[in-house]
Structure 1
Amino acid sequence: MFKGAGVAIVTPFKNGKFDKDAYERLIDFQIENGTQALIVLGTTGEASTLSYEEREEVIRTAIEKNAKRIPIIVGTGSNCTDVAVKYTKQAEELGADGILIVTPYYNKCTNKGMIAHFTAVANATKLPVILYNVPGRTAVNIPPDVVVAMSRVENVIGVKEASGNISQILEIKRLVPEDFMIYSGNDDQVVPIYACGGHGVISVASNVIPKEMQHMCEAFMNGDVEEALRLQLKYKRFIDLLFCEVNPIPVKAALVEMNYIENELRLPLTPMEEVNRNKLAEEMRKLNII
């Protein structure tokens, strides 16, 4: 669907409601700075706390503001297969370019159940499907053999890998077709996953530094591994601070420092602790982000 840096974009709120104006500003900021795709209503977008009607407003706003400039991929996963299918059909009807499906969480499932779940969702749409492996949140890992099984489903075109397990990612690369996309789901592993045959990153950091994240990707793709590694190391502490509290708490705090959004999250998430926010702001000043 894309190569390079796609942003897992935040969902801004104001007075408890979706802040459409702020969202449109964020979208322009992303596209103007080279982001290759908008990943809407993922983990970073606080999708789990949005109603069906709010989801429609967010997706519709993204599609209309984007105006077909870059691909829009919508997170439609759920731990209930019927709900995931419902969300997927909604995204397709509204004009999304692709979907991202997270592993069922909380109730969990066997590998057989995982394949059945992903297949049911993929069969409910004509859109390209990206699997999303984030066992730190779901308590379930997508093993390579499941990824391989799903790669045989025509419209399953890739995986967002946030397991942090480089050996697993190498095994996936060894087994899947050459054109199967592998995206890093961890901002601190962009260069390592490129080295494993990856194709880019679905990035939280891109909310704040979209140009730099895309530059990192382009450098590696153009053969300048040294420059890509320089950028990976330059922003390592900043990335660490973006995950010192639960995502998207810190990245929203960073965007507040940049005057893009209000400092609002949906419960049970709460604003960043002051001591951590001060560390984040200090690092942003060091990097000339603010």
Structure 2
Amino acid sequence: MFKGSIVALVTPMTDDQQVDYQTLKSLVEYHIDAGTDGIVSVGTTGESATLPVDEHIKVIKATVEYAAGRIFVIAGSGANSTAEAIELSQEMAPLGIDGFLSVVPYYNKPQQRGLIAHFETVADCTDLPVLLYNVPGRTVTDMLPETVAVLAKHDKIIGIKDATGDMQRLADMRKLVSDDFILLSGDDDTSFEFIKQGGHGTISVTANIAPKLMAQMVSLARTGDFEAAQRINDRLAKLHTQLFIEPNPVMPKWALYRMGLIKSDIVRLPLVTAELANQKIIEQVMLDAGIIKIEENA
């Protein structure tokens, strides 16, 4: 459950900032064909912060329908209000999703005791499995390994997406949780090393652009073929970093637009589309990685 290469899927939009459901359907098919193991729908990369609750639920519902049981779908359900996280979870639970990804509450900077109370309360409201999500670069608050260990005892909390990029953090968590607690990387730049050191997979932004390569790399790393996995990871290394030269998901959307996989690179305000100089950087990285061809370079 919830292992392997999992894409943090973008939410495609039209030029007037409305969700493009036709393109969303084609993206789901693209990932199924590429061997992606699972989808996180309306997480950070899916612009959860700027989709109101009704639209958030509508996108999740559509993603589940398009996937049609061929690939697991995890719904982003995090909020900085426990009541809102509960509302989202309860509204989405009947939609056919396979579980939730719940981020550390942002902006209000809860204590570690507050994190425990928050996640236990959210997990108590559903029968579906919950993945924790620690991304202190966005939330400010860092969920410590000792806090994860307490939460791992809850029967609905089955794993964590850790985006710290800190391998010592992984080692510390492994000492404190059971072997069946799922440990997923949330940092593409260190995801290969994370799996090599005992992680179970990754929730990846890069997988939006290079799903087949990410699926292959993760599969090889999980089966212990580190040399072959390293070769693929080296090919993707610049993509891992340069996709974040502007706030996520600005660059992934532009890359997908450049590949012809989405019709517009529009992101919801207050984010705006990528600077021309950064577009050129990503285009060159994609050329170097063989994701687009030289003759396509405009």
TM band (smaller chain):
over 0.9
Unaligned stretches of 5+ residues in structure 1: none
Write out aligned runs for 1:1-290 (5 A).
1-14=1-14, 15-261=16-262, 262-290=264-292
Deviation string 1:165-209 (CA, Å, 9 cap, x unpaired) is: 211111001110000000000111112111221000000000110
Question: Any conservation in 2 of the 1:79–1:108 contact (CA below 8 Å)?
Answer: no
Question: Any conservation in 1 of the 2:201–2:218 contact (CA below 8 Å)?
Answer: yes
RMSD: 0.9
Q: In structure 2, give the amino acid aligned to 1:74.
A: A
Question: Any conservation in 1 of the 2:186–2:204 contact (CA below 8 Å)?
Answer: yes
Question: Any conservation in 2 of the 1:216–1:231 contact (CA below 8 Å)?
Answer: yes
- Give the superposition deviation at 1:57: 1.6
TM-score, scaled to structure 1? 0.98
Q: In structure 2, give the amino acid aligned to 1:219.
A: L
Moved over 3 A (4+): none
Task: Classify the secondary structure of the residue corresponding to 1:235.
Answer: helix
Question: Any conservation in 1 of the 2:41–2:76 contact (CA below 8 Å)?
Answer: yes
- Give the superposition deviation at 1:256: 0.5
Q: What is the distance in 2 between the residues matched to 1:207 and 1:195? A: 22
Q: In structure 1, give the amino acid aligned to 2:52.
A: S
Question: Any conservation in 2 of the 1:185–1:202 contact (CA below 8 Å)?
Answer: yes
Q: What is the distance in 2 between the residues matched to 1:283 and 1:139? A: 30
Question: Any conservation in 1 of the 2:196–2:226 contact (CA below 8 Å)?
Answer: no
Q: What is the distance in 2 between the residues matched to 1:206 and 1:162? A: 15
Q: What is the distance in 2 between the residues matched to 1:289 and 1:233? A: 14
- Give the superposition deviation at 1:52: 1.5
TM-score, scaled to structure 2? 0.96
Q: What is the distance in 2 between the residues matched to 1:289 and 1:185? A: 22
Deviation string 1:210-268 (CA, Å, 9 cap, x unpaired) is: 01001001111222101111111111111111011111000001001011221110001
> Matched residues, percent identical?
40
Unaligned stretches of 5+ residues in structure 2: 293-298
- Give the superposition deviation at 1:55: 1.2
Question: Any conservation in 2 of the 1:76–1:84 contact (CA below 8 Å)?
Answer: yes
- Give the superposition deviation at 1:286: 2.1
Task: Classify the secondary structure of the residue corresponding to 1:247.
Answer: coil
Q: What is the distance in 2 between the residues matched to 1:2 and 1:57? A: 22
Q: What is the distance in 2 between the residues matched to 1:225 and 1:114? A: 36
Task: Classify the secondary structure of the residue corresponding to 1:17.
Answer: coil
Q: What is the distance in 1 between the residues matched to 2:256 and 2:63? A: 18
Question: Any conservation in 2 of the 1:79–1:107 contact (CA below 8 Å)?
Answer: yes
Q: What is the distance in 2 between the residues matched to 1:283 and 1:191? A: 19
Question: Any conservation in 2 of the 1:6–1:202 contact (CA below 8 Å)?
Answer: yes
